[in-house]
Each structure stands twice: as C-alpha cells, then as structure tokens.
Structure 1
Amino acid sequence: MYTILLIEDEEIIAQKMKDFLEGWNYKVIIPKDFKNILQVFLDTHPDLVCMDIVLPFLNGYHWAGEIRKISKVPILFISSIADNMNIVMALSQGADDYITKPFELQILQAKIQALLRRTYDFAGKTLVLEHKGLRFFPEETRAVFNDHEVELTRNESKILMLLLQQKNKIVSRDEMMNYLWKTDYYVDENTLSVNVNRLRKKLDSIGCQRFIETVKGMGYKV
C-alpha cells in the first residue's frame, strides 16, 4: 500500500480527497500542523506528496523546495491558481505534476497512479541520504559505509536524519532535544549525549569515523 501525504488546509476538500483515495487502497495522511510540513514528511515517509500552493504560514513552493533537498519523492501540486507563471514556478521547485482546482477525483487518481508507477515501478522506492560516503536509509533505520552496514535505533536514526537534513550546519542541542523528545516532561541533557555517543560508536564500527563533530558550546554538525 502506498502512502500519500495530502497537504490541503481546506478540511472539507481534504476529507473528500482522502475518502476517495482510500477507496483506491492508498493510505492518506493529512497533517494537522502546517507550521513544519518538513517534519511531518520526515515522520510519515510518504511515497507521494499532494500539496496545495496556498497554505498557512509558508506556501507550497517553500515546502516543495525543502522536501527536494532530502528526497526525490514525487510531488503533485493541487491548486486553484492556474496561470502559467505559477505552474512554471511549481515545476521549478521540484514538483512532478500540477492539477488545477476544481478537478474530477478520477483525474487526480489517474495522475497519482501515473506518478507512482513512473517513480517506483522502474526506480524502486527507497529513500537514501548520502554525505561523505555514508548512506543512510531512514525507512530501514540502517547506515552503510564502504559496504559495511549497521542497524540504528529510532533515536539514533532521528539524530542522523536531523544532522543530514542540515549537513554542514550546526544543529543546537536544544533543537535536537526538541526534535527527539516533544514532551512537556523534563529530559536530562545527558540523555542526548548518550544517544549521540551510541550513534558515533555504531558509525565508527563500520569505518565511518569522526563523522559527527561536536561544536563546543553550540551543538553538533556533519
């Protein structure tokens, strides 16, 4: 079953699309938080993204660009904006197709089916992040370096994902804590250090040494 991330802030339209697509045996996820669509994408690992252009906080162009930095997952824009300039803008930001509202749901399904077939029937459907020779497979929670492989825990995978998402940039300890433990309960900072050190040891074990750099007083970077 393919998973579709449906980013549409008009609830009635979103629910109608969801009900229709689920009838075609797709799993459809509609985010509740439009402030950080990239985080929703990372948490849900969709096979395809359907996204409106006009969204709360930041528009679809922004989120398409952010998703394209880390993934080649197909993106289908759905929008009432039909002029050529916006279509060109959408495609230039990494969209694979564009459908204008109002549309027949059967047309939407046909476009989704074509994108999924084109993307996965011929190319496989594995998300891979690469940096400095390390290949990370977030869906499989494993890392590979020079043909050596190691399995990672959920938290180790999230740490590596966050660092790779912002490679060559410093990720603060506070940002990492919030990313790992979204809770009102107190979490000791030593817990983060333990998880980072465990991840380092696992990467060292496959020959990927000194991959995670500590920036004193600031955080970590890769």
Structure 2
Amino acid sequence: MFKILLIEDDVTLFKEIKERLVQWSYDVYGIQDFNDVMRDYSEIKPDLVIIDIQLPKFDGFHWCRMIRSHSKVPIIFLSSRDHPTDMIMSMQLGADDFVQKPFHFDVLIAKIQAVLRRVYNYSMEQQTQLKVWNGATVDYIKGSIQNNHGEVELTKNEIYILKILLENMNQIVSRDELIRQLWDDERFVSDNTLTVNVNRLRKRLEEIAMGQYIETKVGQGYMAKDRNEMDD
C-alpha cells in the first residue's frame, strides 16, 4: 500500500481527497503543524507527496524545495490560482505533475497512478542500470549522469525522458510519444509540461557540457544525438 502525504490546509478538501484515495487503497496522511511540514514528512516517509501551493506560513514552493533537498520522492502540486507561472515554477522545482483546481477526481487519480507506476515500477523493473553516452555514464537507478566535467542528479521525469531519447538515439521522438510514455494519457497533460521538463533536463546537462546533445526538432519532437554521428 502506497503512503501519500497530502499537504492541504483546506480541511473540507483534505477530507474529501483522503476519503476518495482511501477507497483506492492508498494510505493518506495529513500535516499536524504547517510551520514544520518536514517533521511530518520525515516521520511518515511517504511514497508520494501532494502539495497545495497556497499554505499557511510558507507556500508549497518552499516545502517542495525543502523536500527536494532531501529526497526524490514524487511530488504533485495542487493550485487554485490560474497562473501559468505556477505550473512552470512547480516543474522547475522538480515536481512530477500539476493539477489545477477545481479538478475532477478521475483526473487526480489518473495522475497519481501514472506517477507511481512510472517511478516505482520503473525502479523495480529496470534491468540495464548504466548507459554510456558521449563519454558520460547514465545511471538509470541512481538517476544521475556523470562525466569528466562532474555529476548531476536528475528528477524521475528527467531521467525517464533521457532514457526514452537514448533508446531512440539519433531518431526523433515525437512530443506525443513522450507524453504517452511519461503520463500514459495525454488528455490530462498540458503540452507546456513536457516543454518545461525537457528544458530543465537540457539545463542540467549543460552543467556538465552535454546540453548540445539533446536537440529540439521544431514541430516534430526531440532527439538525443551521438557525437560520433555528429562528427561524421
């Protein structure tokens, strides 16, 4: 049974979401003290965090940063604000998905299932742990890539996007195909969500001088490039 930490200060909404998630056999926990969310997080050790942006004392972005400094646990943001920057900020901080309030519960459960399946089934079923790419070692299990310029850690979304692109080396992977593989059902995904995730992956790769190996094909998708093919 997966443990979900629901960081939501609206008591009515919290109870409603918890009741529905319990029906799906999830263990749902709330926050006792919104001044010290990390204490509850450390005690519960959840498999997934659902966090509202507007919270007492500190907002959800603050707690996302705190959680990300300790863990790669999947995070889904909730927001009642209709600001595109909220979704962009969430993804830049390492969130796995974003749900706009008000939402249909079927959409939320679909996103939860997709994230849990992607994160935990991927970790359990991954057979090839290491991939050598342009002189760098990609560790799918650890979620990192390392070369002589250093090492960067990637989020679950970032490492999975990279894995898909590397499995199709020097071939264009369409945006629709990436969305299907990442989120299972593209109807529930903003097209901008994929753009943010890919841009964030490229920025991380730039830290170790590898950003140029992920190419955007305008109107088509993305491609991971092998430098030997580029040299030819």
The separation in 2 between residues aligned to 1:113 and 1:6, in whole angstroms, is 15
Instruction: State the match for 1:36 in structure 2.
Output: 36
Q: Does 1:64 align with 2:64?
A: yes
TM-fit CA distance, 1:82: 2.6
Structure with the larger helix share: 2
Partner secondary structure for residue 58 of structure 1: coil
TM-score where L is the length of structure 1: 0.55
Separation in 2, partners of 1:90, 1:47:
18
Match of 2:51 in 1: 51
Could you tell me which residue of structure 1 aligns to residue 101 of structure 2? 101
Please state how far the C-alpha of 1:20 moved relative to its aligned partner: 0.2
**In structure 2, what is the equivalent of residue 161 of structure 1?**
none
- CA RMSD in angstroms comes to 1.8
The equivalent of 1:13 in structure 2 is 13
TM-score w.r.t. structure 2 length? 0.53
One-letter amino acid matched to 2:49:
V
TM alignment of 1:171-190, pairs within 5 A: none
The 5 Å alignment of 1:111-190 reads 111-124=111-124
Moved beyond 3 Å, runs of 4+: none
Partner of 1:216: none
Equivalents in 2 of 1:90, 1:24: separation in Å? 26
Number of equivalent positions: 127
Distance 2:65 2:123 in 1: 22
1:109 Cα deviation (Å)? 0.6
Q: Which amino acid aligns with 2:8?
A: E
Q: Secondary structure at the match of 1:40?
A: helix
Match of 1:150 in 2: none
Which of the pair has more CA radius of gyration?
1
Q: Distance in 2 between the 1:120 and 1:32 partners?
A: 27
Contact residue 31 and residue 40 of structure 2 kept, 8 A? yes
**Counterpart position of 1:192:** none
Structural mapping, 1:72-91, within 5 Å: 72-91=72-91
Q: What is the aligned-residue identity percentage?
A: 42
Any conservation in 1 of the 2:48–2:75 contact (CA below 8 Å)? yes
What is the CA–CA distance in structure 2 between the aligned matches of 1:73 and 1:81, rounded to whole Å?
Answer: 24
Could you tell me which runs of 5 or more consecutive residues in structure 2 were left unpaired when the two chains were aligned.
125-141, 143-232
Deviation at 1:12, TM superposition (A): 0.2
2:32 & 2:66 partners in 1: Cα distance?
A: 19
Q: Which runs of 5+ in 1 are unaligned?
A: 129-222
Structure 2 equivalent of residue 214 of structure 1: none
CA distance in 1, matches of 2:32, 2:100: 23
Deviation at 1:102, TM superposition (A): 0.3
Distance 1:94 1:82 in 2: 20
